[in-house]
Structure 1
Amino acid sequence: MNPAPGLNRTTAIATNDRTRAAATPRIKLLSHGFAIDHPDPELGERLMADALGVTDREAMHGILTQLVKASVNGQKPDEVTLSFMISMVKSIRPRDSIEAMLVAQLVCVHVMAMRCTYQLANADDVARQDSAARALGRLARTFPAQIEALNRHRNNAEPAITVQNVSVQDGGNAIVGNVTQHASVIVSDKGQAAVATEARMAQMPDRSESERIQ
């Protein structure tokens, strides 16, 4: 088992492209805790930290400990469930500490909901059915709320572009004021809009000239 890091310091774990491409190591459950099952302990920690979306050893051990406790089934952690939870966290790809905590909660809620589903299907009396159904309902409502919170956090982190020059074609509707969209919006070139405006002005006849001719 890897020893716990010192409480008075934070140990950063650097990752690179090669680390991210490598497979996430499994967790070996021991009688007195757990250990990252990898021949190179340092590389194993980097791989696990990258999978969980954290950058230091303390955060990695903290989230791992919480996932181990959440995988408990029959009063002891379950290796298969734990591997599934870590795999799901990695597939969602948390990008900062807030996302790492949200994703860990999201995966735990899913596991608990599936357990309630099993209990509901195997309940042999009305009281157990009602208890499992109520718990499943609360977890089912919590799950989409967590997804919404994660998406909202990610969208707020995306840079925005303010469009100040809008070219309107014939028959179109103009929006007066600044229009803000996400970075995926393509802003039309200011120079092209100016050229198009000048060309339309050149095609319009001068009324004063026409009156002088008459």
Structure 2
Amino acid sequence: MNSDNRNSQQQKKSVAKLKPAPAGSEVKRSKEEIIGNIVAMMQKGPVETEDEESGESFTLTVEEMDAVKDYLSSEQIPKFKKLGGFAAVYPDHPSKAVGQALIAKALGITDETFYAGALKQLINASSEGNQIDVEGLNFAVSLVRSIEPRNQLETMLAIQMASVHLASMKYMRKLNHTETIPQLDLQERVVNKLMRTFTSQMEALRKHRNGGSQKVIVKHVHVHEGGQAIVGNVNHGGRSSKEGATQSHGQDHLSLPVSAAVLSNVEEDEEEVPSPGRAR
């Protein structure tokens, strides 16, 4: 009995306790402090905390603590907020200029005029009517940022992709609430076109970043018995009469990969290569 009590006490000591901040607390810890505390508690072992609503205690698993750590350690940019009843938004940062610069950098923008135009386009794409949807705007900015545009040309394409995605979700919701067959057909066509457009935009971005070229690498070429293979470029140009008289289908004009493929076929099968005008 005594040994069991000592073991239970040691287990209790090995469990770190993380208590949530009291409701309505004005204390705001920095992201670095929260991450540091999580890392320290992960080294000690399981973390015991309490549910914010019910007050019931539970233990965080290692996977849950890793998820929290990765989520909090991701690079954040200022979000937009509305001030009063004005039809305008501002970066949630002590310095408006610094907040604007952080957002512009994340969106691949280096020009103030371009930034103003891009912001207006994102507001129009994420809002309905005359009211600015701040949550929708922050989501649209996050979409553009996730594409990681490298320059302002890619920023324009990323804004288009974000706009098409938002429109797709808008009409998808309408598709889920249609009541008649004509409405269903209409919404289905619109959603289908928007999603196809998004796929085309992804392909355009890929081609732009890769210079429009698609590299294909062949690592293994297998030629089975009785088969033929050509690897490389083959030119069907004319030959001189002297070349035609000696060997019309010789290997002198084949590229190195082609010659290697032919020779490997001959060596493997141990057969002679027939040529026109000569005995086998």
For this structure pair, what is the TM-score category when the shorter chain's length is used for normalisation? 0.5 to 0.7
Determine whether 1:52 maps to 2:107.
Answer: yes
How far apart are residue 36 of structure 1 and its match? 2.0
Q: Which residue of 1 aligns with 2:197?
A: 142
Is the radius of gyration larger for structure 1 or structure 2? Answer: 2
Q: What is the rounded CA distance, in whole Å, between the counterparts of 1:47 and 1:22 in structure 2?
A: 11
Counterpart for residue 23 of structure 1: 76
Distance 2:123 2:139 in 1: 11
Structure 2 residue 137 is matched with structure 1 residue 82: yes
Distance in 2, Cα, partners of 1:175 & 1:153? 27
Name which of structure 1's ranges 126-135 and 100-109 shifts more when overlaid on structure 2. Answer: 126-135
1:106·1:143 contact (CA, 8 Å) conserved in 2?
yes
TM-score under structure 1 length normalisation? 0.60
2:87/2:131 contact within 8 Å kept: no
What is the match of residue 174 of structure 2?
Answer: 119
One-letter amino acid of the structure 2 residue matched with residue 25 of structure 1? P
Contact 1:23 1:47 in 2 (8 A): no
**Correspondence for 1:61:** 116
Deviation, 1:27, is 1.2
For 1:90 and 1:72, locate their aligned partners in 2 and report how far apart those are by CA, in whole Å. 18
> How far apart are residue 157 of structure 1 and its match?
8.3
Query: Root-mean-square deviation (CA), in Å?
Result: 2.5
Residue identity matched to 1:132: Q
Gaps of 5+ in 2: 1-73, 216-229, 235-280
**Number of equivalenced pairs:** 145
1:89 aligned partner, one-letter code: V
Given the superposition, is the C-alpha separation of residues 157 and 22 from structure 1 closer, same or farther in structure 2, using an over 3 Å criterion? farther
Q: Which residue of 2 aligns with 1:95?
A: 150
The structure-2 alpha-carbon separation of the partners of 1:45 and 1:157, relative to structure 1 and needing over 3 Å to count, comes to farther
**Distance 1:89-1:116 versus aligned 2 partners, 3 A rule:** same
Contact residue 22 and residue 47 of structure 1 kept, 8 A:
no
Give the structure-2-normalised TM-score. 0.47
Which residue, 169, 182, 187 being the options, matches 1:132?
187
2:78–2:91 CA contact under 8 A, matched in 1: yes
Aligned to 2:210, the other structure's residue is in SS state helix
Relative contact order higher in (CA < 8 Å, ≥ 6 apart): 1
Q: Distance in 1 between matches of 2:91 and 2:178?
A: 37
SS in 2 for 1:144: helix
> 1:3 matched to which residue of 2?
none
Cα 1:112–1:174 change in 2 (3 A) is: closer
Q: Distance in 1 between the 2:198 and 2:181 partners? A: 26
Pick one of 114, 125, 135 that aligns with 1:70: 125
1:34-69 Cα offsets, whole Å, 9 max, x none, are 222211112111101012111011111111110011
Contact 2:87–2:132 (CA under 8 A) maintained in structure 1:
no
Paired-residue identity, %: 35
Quote the offset at 1:106 in angstroms.
Answer: 0.4
C-alpha contact 2:157 2:205 (8 A) present in aligned 1: yes
How many angstroms apart in 2 are the aligned matches of 1:64 and 1:75? 15
The residue aligned with 1:207 is none
How far residue 76 of structure 1 moved from its aligned partner, in angstroms, is 2.6
Which whole-Å CA distance do the structure 2 matches of 1:93 and 1:50 have between them? 10
